Amino acid sequence: MAFVVLVTGCSAGGIGAALCEEFAARGCQVYATARNPTKMEGLNHPRIEKLPLDVTSDEDIKSIVDHIVGKEGKIDIVVNNAGTGAAGALLDQNMDTVRQAFDINTFSILRVCRSVLPIMARRKKGLFVNIGSVVGDTPVPWNGLYSATKAATHMISEVLSMECRPFNISVMNVVPGSVRSNIAKNMTKNFELPENSLYSAFVPNIIKRINASQSEHSMPTAEFAKAVVSKALSKNPPLRFTAGGNSTIFAIFRWLPRSFVFGYLWRMYSKKM
């Protein structure tokens, strides 16, 4: 019987959409979701069903989970991929933006997992895949809010990996490096420097940071999706899986003195352009 997979944050051109395509290509029944269904254009594989889902809404999540279980009788894999960027100086972010970033990037994971856990627990089988980021381990200037949400995501994944053991449910914390997607374009479109900002001289550096994940070293989205799906469908999915451009250097950063790493990163993103 085919695996049933629920994926959040599946707008075209992003990691979620690529994961949906790859799971479907491997014979899974995939439920692709996004707040705005019109943004899932191109997901036309016959094994993919597209559904509207606002991951900040408990009611929406319950409705979608009930719909899937009503049709399939189970959910085998959940991929918590929904996310939003928040470029700029950390203290330039207004509290509405802070709450929204955590709500979408972090709290949604708790909402979705809480809704699906009883279904997986009854079968003593399942996998939660949570999409973090290398900057959740090693933050970079001008992206601090995003880094904070992903650091929390990593901790949530690690705790869930222990607390789901009684139900034989696995957790896979995916830690992407640079992967080609629409994230930089969306962040640039949404970035606006506050009128009273003390960081106006650093706008070119902020723009540089926004586009850093979309360089010639970035991993193609389809290639990244193949790697993640292969691990997710393996007999023993790893607790932590890293792939993408610059993932090796960020792995090295984790072992170096923090003061050295932060000094290096500050020099990289504070030079006059």
The per-residue pLDDT of the chain, averaged, comes to 95
Q: Global pTM?
A: 0.95
Find residue 199's DSSP bridge partners: none
What percent of the chain is modeled with pLDDT above 90? 90
Options 31, 39, 146, 269, the catalytic residue: 146
Show the DSSP H helices in the chain as ranges: 15-25, 58-72, 95-102, 108-123, 144-163, 183-190, 203-211, 221-232, 247-253, 258-268
**146 catalytic, yes or no?**
yes
More confident residue, 191 or 236: 236
**150 catalytic, yes or no?**
yes
Domains of the chain listed by start with CATH number: 4-268 (3.40.50.720)
Nearest to 146 by CA among 159, 131, 158: 131
End-to-end distance of the chain based on CA atoms, in angstroms?
56
Options 39, 150, 226, 269, the catalytic residue: 150
| Whole-number Å distance between alpha carbons of 106 and 102 | 5
> What are the DSSP calls for 204-235, one per residue?
HHHHHHHHTTSSTTSBPHHHHHHHHHHHHTSS
214 pLDDT band (50/70/90 cuts)?
confident
pLDDT per position as a tens digit, 242-272: 999 999 999 999 999 999 999 999 999 997 6
Question: Between vectors from CA 117 to CA 113 and to CA 123, what angle results, nearest 5°?
Answer: 145
pLDDT per position as a tens digit, 55-79: 999 999 999 999 999 999 999 999 9
pLDDT of residue 231: 98
Task: Indicate whether 233 pLDDT > 80.
Answer: yes
pLDDT per position as a tens digit, 91-147: 999 999 999 999 999 999 999 999 999 999 999 999 999 999 999 999 999 999 999
- Please state, in angstroms and as integers, the Cα–Cα distance from residue 15 to each residue in 93, 129, 218, 222, following that order: 25, 13, 13, 8
Rg value, the chain, Cα: 18
pLDDT of residue 186: 76
